[in-house]
Homo-oligomer: A and B are copies of this chain.
Amino acid sequence: MAVQIIENGGITAPKGYLTGAVYAGIKSRKSYKPDVAVLLSDRQATVAALFTTNRFCAAPVTLGRELLKKGVARGIVINSGNANAGTGARGIEDAKAVAAFAERLLGLESGEMFVCSTGVIGEYLPVEKIQQAVEKIVPTLSPLAGSDAAWAIMTTDKARKELAAELPLSGGTVRIGAMSKGSGMIHPNMATTLTFLTTDAAVDRSLLQSLLRDACDRSIHLLTIDGDTSTNDSIFLFANGASGVRVESEADVEAFADALNQICLAMAKKIAADGEGASRMMTVETRGLSTKETAAAVARAVASSTSVKLALGQGRLGWGEILTAVGNSAVECGDIAPDCAIRSPLGAVTLCENGLAAEGVESRLAQILSAAEVTVSLDFHQGDGCGLAYGCDLTDEYVRINGDYRS
């Protein structure tokens, strides 16, 4: 695939996107990290989005679902530090007040700006602070400020997560930009992942939505953090057509989908690997199950098992943790132990074959597990269903670090 990564590129790498970010003081902080960002397309964009499946979605998610029905928008106001979740009817009004303020200031029609929040749950949104921040941001909006926005959306993230790529289509070159917020650690109500994607390709609304869903199903949806969905998880994809190139022909759709998949997967890996305490990223592959749904559920059960994550963090993941997690998954996968191997760039070792655990593999396993990325591979020999899940380890450092998110 001819996808070309754009060095230091992010959300504003595609044409026609502007961002800005300032410190609004939503939380008292030691540093003055920006906490409000605006993303604006200089023209109307089609928009696709996916939101959390958590029953108690945050106010901006409720509003977002409503606005998405239009399928076109100009941009989004994002704040960190306060999730505007568990805030009832007032939360919805607050979210609308922020959007309306930005729309007025930008001379837009009602419903053209989304809002997105992440942070502490159960506290009312400091609407005035955010409006004042938007007022400061609007005159500074720039195609060069993508990194500021990626910084503003961080909460307990230890690193900005941004990426952009360029790809040739039949009508010319288009770009896709991305920024994400989220971390592979266990975060009290901070498991929230936010991902914002932009493209200067023109893509029809329904195609855009299905491309986004497919890409997420192969990346961010495979990412298991602490087994919880958050109240605020959201993914947006704007397509403003500023490149003058329309994604229409089958070959172009395929190329664009492939690029989007690659970017989403890279962002998911960035999220999984985020944080000082994060030492190991884990991929769980399952095959030989009756259906792909079963295979996905088993992969997810292994990747999200606290025991597996903890053992991985301590470099001593073994057959016991994996077998227990598989056996504990709430799906029908037989009672014959699957074949199992663990591999990393440092080698591969078989843990179980033909229902029998391998013995004396500890020392080789310990070496393999010292790599930063580890793959657990399970074969059930029952059918054609394959599955995949991404996760990360759990270390005491994680737990320590994540105690600080309110401070």
Contact surface of A with B, Cβ cutoff 8 Å: 54-57, 83, 85-88, 120-124, 186-191, 226-231, 305-308, 310-311, 313-314, 316, 318-321, 323-329, 333-335, 337, 351-352, 355-357, 359, 394-400, 402-403, 406
Complex CA gap A305/B304 in Å reads 12
A325 contacts B228, C-beta separation under 8 Å: yes
B307 contacts A191, C-beta separation under 8 Å: yes
* CB of A404 to closest CB in B, whole Å: 9
Complex CA gap A50/B308 in Å reads 26
Q: Which of B56, B314, B320, B396 contacts A396 (CB 8 A)?
A: B396
16 A-B pairs with CB atoms under 8 Å apart are A55-B335, A56-B337, A85-B323, A86-B357, A123-B357, A187-B307, A188-B308, A188-B320, A189-B323, A191-B324, A226-B306, A229-B327, A229-B328, A310-B402, A314-B403, A396-B399
A324 contacts B189, C-beta separation under 8 Å: yes
**18 additional contacts, CB 8 Å, given A56-B323, A56-B335?**
A54-B324, A56-B326, A87-B357, A121-B319, A121-B323, A122-B323, A123-B357, A186-B307, A188-B307, A188-B308, A189-B307, A189-B324, A226-B305, A228-B325, A310-B399, A316-B406, A396-B396, A396-B403
B396 contacts A333, C-beta separation under 8 Å: no
A327 contacts B403, C-beta separation under 8 Å: no
Known: A56-B323, A320-B120. A228 touches B395 (CB 8 A): no
* A225 to chain B: closest residue by CB: B306
Q: Which of A55, A333, A335, A337 has the most CB of B within 10 A?
A: A55
Complex CA gap A137/B381 in Å reads 44
* CB of A314 to closest CB in B, whole Å: 4
B contact residues around A328 at 8 Å (CB) = 54-55, 227-229
Complex CA gap A231/B319 in Å reads 12
A88 contacts B121, C-beta separation under 8 Å: no
Complex CA gap A55/B338 in Å reads 12
* CB of A261 to closest CB in B, whole Å: 27
